[in-house]
Amino acid sequence: MEQNRQLCSQLVGKQEEDTFSILIASDCHLGYKEKDPIRGHDSLVTFEEVFEIAKEHEVDFVLLGGDLFHENKPSRATLHGCIEILRKYCLGDKPCQVEFLSDQSVNFWSSSFPVINYEDPNYNISTPVFTIHGNHDDPSGSKNLSAIDLLSSSGLVNYFGKTSSVDEISISPLLMQKGKSKLAVYGLGSVRDERLHRLFASEKITMLKPKMDTDNWFNIMVVHQNRVKHGEKNYIPEEFLSDFLDLVIWGHEHESLITPEWNPKTNFFVCQPGSTVATSLTEGEAKRKHVAILKVFNKTFKVEEIPLNTVRPFYIDELCLQETGISCDERHEQEIVSYVKKKIESMISKAEAEHSGSTRQPTEPLIRLKVDYSGGYIPFNSLRFGQQFVGRVANPKDIVHFYKKRTRREITDDEEMESIENAELPISILERTVKIENIITELLANDSSYQMKFLSEKAIGDAVRIFVDKEENDIIEELVHHSLKKMQNLLKKNQGSTDLQLDQQVEIYKETVFGNEDMRKAIEGAQIKRRHRGDYDDEKDFSDSDEDIVKPSTSANPENNGRGNRSRDRARGQTRGHRNSRTPSRGRGRGTAITSSGCVFTRKPATATASSTLKSKKSEVINLVDEDDSDDPFEIDRSKRSRKA
């Protein structure tokens, strides 16, 4: 271990100008609980700490793993707070020492200004920010926009990882160089897990690789998906990702597992930053929150974990009433209340003793006591109980959570509910597992009294979800109207058919025709109605990108866009600094940082191991342009993975 530390110290001195320095963070959830008088500013306070750390360590750029905002349509106050912080810490005269080599019109194809912000002559960016979108701030609506698009258009962030198709996804990397080190950053914004799982299984995911010096690039991928299995297809196995990657930054999961974990099946490391603010009262959220400083030199990287000191303290514990020895008789309710109060008092005392002492860290902790009242106990009023802790804890209304531990039960006919084993599962998991559209679809399909002759069960389920989640009040009416009109046209065309033939035609039509196009037209109809009523609000033009059809951009498409000369020339050796004649990239890294264990991470050679259910085929390398264009610096790596027969 000591030899490792000495080696790292030597590397820092020798490789400073060739080392990327990157701050890694994820799931900032700006605006979470913003109307709560106690917790309303927590997300923004910690977000500012993240950028203070970036400034202190003089990183080359900040890389975010999605869910920058908690809401799909954040409030003006949240947007204002975010913009203030970005302007305060990202703008400045310090030149960025990273050369950007790839075609920017491809990497930022969805933007009206497809140029990286620190090379825009209208801006002085000292600390660039790169981010993908998450499931909370995903692009949606008729123009497929998100709050991150607003930040991108204003030149404050570089938004990448946006997809133009729901049937096939092509991922083009951000190619950067600092001194002798070359970095390829792949990004994929949040896609509904079931859909993405299907695309991986059907080999519809394409990843582009640089053509020159293919083996000399350090490959990072940023994703925002379920990593923990919540159902057969409600997560993305690590084995799905291409094995040429060196490091995967995994967003969406809130537990901080920031020390890179080696996956021997895929031959890459996985770094899970976790969230910067607790959005649910679960055990994973109670663990210490971190960001990381990632240092990359050639094919070697190191990670320094940095704990966040402005996060509100959170303590969680469990109590089984049967183990207290107190009778379950109603006459002993006050004795149970006193016992629970004593337990919570000890948790508050622990929070006070372990407070960091920072004036910016909140003093009122989050406290959650899970009480198992199995065995005939009767839960008391937790809301009234919590009032005695007002002013001492941040969540007096839900400080106690009662549950009954149940035996494992098997649930069939619904793959997304297979992970529900007992009643004390966190609410966040239940929300991701049990979806309203699945309940509606199951009800309409299985209950004969609710079965519909002409309308698609899935379409109705999707409309109900958009009605609930996005407050699109006219969506169900418009979908029914549009669907019935299409069915009427079908019946008119088949007037000479028998009743049996008509039934068959209707059933086929329901299963094959109704889909995303109907949903898109229904959304448009609902928005037109709002305009006519005079209550149209642009902020309500946000539907769920998991189900909406995304219209491909006519200005730039990452799957068929050509490579400009500017990109090709730079890849052959020419360097580029800032367009305003800033200092060209010579490298100003501060050397590689040391992990908590002082280890240097190096990607291990590929082995012959494979998943028990998945296997990796060899990557197919295809020229992106005509074969006679030998100067083109890019290749396509189409990684194919399929289940074993």
**Section 346-373 average pLDDT:** 92
Asked whether residue 432 is assigned to any structural domain, the reply reads no
Residues 275 and 178 in one domain: yes
Asked whether the predicted pLDDT for residue 612 surpasses 70, the reply is no
Q: What count of Cα atoms within 13 Å lies in the side-chain half-sphere of residue 101?
A: 29
Please determine, for residue 471, whether its predicted confidence score (pLDDT) is greater than 80.
no
Residue 14 is predicted with a pLDDT of: 52
- Confidence band (pLDDT; 50, 70, 90) for 577? very low
Give the C-alpha separation, 219 to 304, whole Å. 19
Residue 262 pLDDT class (50, 70, 90 cuts): very high
Q: What is the pLDDT of residue 140?
A: 80
Residues 158 and 305 in one domain: yes
C-beta atoms surrounding 261 within 10 Å = 14
One domain for residues 573 and 522? no
Please determine, for residue 350, whether its predicted confidence score (pLDDT) is greater than 70.
yes
| 424 in a structural domain | no
Considering only 211-215, 393-397, 539-543, which range has the smallest mean pLDDT?
539-543
- CATH code of the domain covering residue 343: 3.30.110.110
Tens digit of each residue's pLDDT (9 = 90 or more) over 488-502: 887 788 777 776 677
- Report the amino acid identity of residue 212: M
Closest CA to 522 of 576, 570, 485, 561: 485
Whole-angstrom distance, CA of residue 498 vs CA of residue 138: 47
327 occurs within a structural domain? yes
Percentage with pLDDT > 90 across the chain: 43
Residue 247 has a pLDDT of 96
What is the overall mean pLDDT for the chain? 77
Q: Which two tokens stand for residue 424?
A: 């004390």
Beta strand 61-64 with 129-131: parallel, antiparallel or unpaired?
Answer: parallel
Domain boundary among 511, 540, 569: 540
What pLDDT does residue 279 have?
A: 94
The pLDDT of residue 519 is: 64
Q: Tokens standing for 26?
A: 């994820």
Q: State the average pLDDT over residues 270-277.
A: 96
Measured CA to CA, the distance from residue 4 to residue 27 in angstroms comes to 32
pLDDT in tens, 127-151: 999 999 999 988 887 788 899 999 9
Q: Are 142 and 132 a contacting pair, CB within 8 Å?
A: no
pLDDT class of 641 with cuts at 50, 70, 90: very low
Task: Give the C-alpha distances (Å, rounded to integers) separating 268 from 143, 310, 318, 447.
Answer: 36, 32, 36, 48
Per the annotation, the verdict on 136 as an active-site residue is yes
Answer whether 111's CB lies under 8 Å from 152's CB.
yes
Task: Give me the pLDDT at residue 559, please.
Answer: 42
Considering 350, 374, 403, which residue would you say is the last residue of a domain? 403
- Taking 60 as the threshold, does the pLDDT of residue 305 lie above it? yes
CATH number assigned to the domain comprising residue 17:
3.60.21.10
Q: Are residues 229 and 244 in the same domain?
A: yes
pLDDT score of 512: 57
pLDDT of residue 232: 81
Q: Are residues 66 and 189 in the same domain?
A: yes
- Mean pLDDT to the nearest integer, 462-476: 73
In the predicted model, is pLDDT for residue 520 greater than 60? yes
Residue 207: half-sphere exposure toward Cβ, Cα within 13 Å: 24
Domain boundary among 540, 570, 590: 540
Q: Total structural domains in the chain?
A: 3
Q: Does some domain include residue 124?
A: yes
pLDDT of residue 449 exceeding 90, the answer is no
HEC letters along 387-434? HHHECCECCHHHCEEEECCCCCCCCCCCHHHCCCCCCCCCHHHHHHHC
Alpha-carbon gap, residue 133 to 69, rounded angstroms? 9
**Residue 39 predicted with pLDDT over 90:** yes
**How far is the first Cα of the chain from the last one, in angstroms, to the nearest whole number?**
45
State the pLDDT at residue 42: 96
pLDDT surpassing 70 at residue 87: yes
Residue 138 belongs to what H/E stretch? none
Question: Higher model confidence: residue 545 or residue 638?
Answer: 638
Structure token pair of residue 349: 């005392």
Is 423 inside any structural domain? Answer: no
Question: What is the side-by-side strand order in the sheet with 129-131?
Answer: 158-159, 129-131, 61-64, 20-25, 290-297, 300-307, 601-602
Q: pLDDT value at position 460?
A: 73
Q: Residue 237 in 3-state DSSP?
A: coil
Find where tokens 């033009």 sit. 541
Q: Give pLDDT, residue 517.
A: 61
Q: Can you tell me the distance from the alpha carbon of 156 to that of 86, in angstroms, rounded to the nearest whole number?
A: 7
Rounded to an integer, the average pLDDT of 369-379 is: 91
Q: Which residue among 57, 133, 136, 252 is the active-site one?
A: 136
- The residue whose two tokens read 């930040």 is 151
Flag whether pLDDT at 188 surpasses 50.
Answer: yes
Least confident of 69-73, 121-125, 604-608: 604-608
State yes or no: pLDDT of 588 exceeds 60. Answer: no
Q: Are residues 95 and 208 in the same domain?
A: yes
Residue-number span of the structural domain to which 620 is assigned = 2-311+560-643
Closest CA to 71 of 165, 146, 177: 146
pLDDT at site 532: 61
User: Where are any strands of DSSP class E within 12-163?
Assistant: 20-25, 61-64, 99-100, 129-131, 158-159
Highest mean pLDDT (candidates 259-268, 520-529, 584-593): 259-268
Token digits for 381?
């009023």
Are 372 and 326 members of one domain? yes
Whether pTM > 0.85 for this model: the answer is no
**28 found inside a domain:** yes
Least Cα distance to 182 among 210, 216, 208 occurs for: 216
Residue 551 lies in a domain: no
Min mean pLDDT across 481-485, 494-498, 503-507, 519-523 is at 519-523
Q: Are residues 302 and 194 in the same domain?
A: yes
**Mean pLDDT of all residues in 312-331:** 91
Task: Report if residue 255 sits inside a domain.
Answer: yes
Rounded-to-integer distance, Cα 340 and Cα 561, Å: 64
Are 187 and 258 contained in the same domain? yes
Let me know whether 50 and 90 are in one domain.
yes
Kindly state whether residues 459 and 487 are assigned to the same domain: yes
Torsion of CA 109, 110, 113, 117, to 10 degrees: -80
- Same domain flag for 388 and 476: no
The better pLDDT of the pair 27, 104 is held by: 27
CA 153 to chain centre: 21
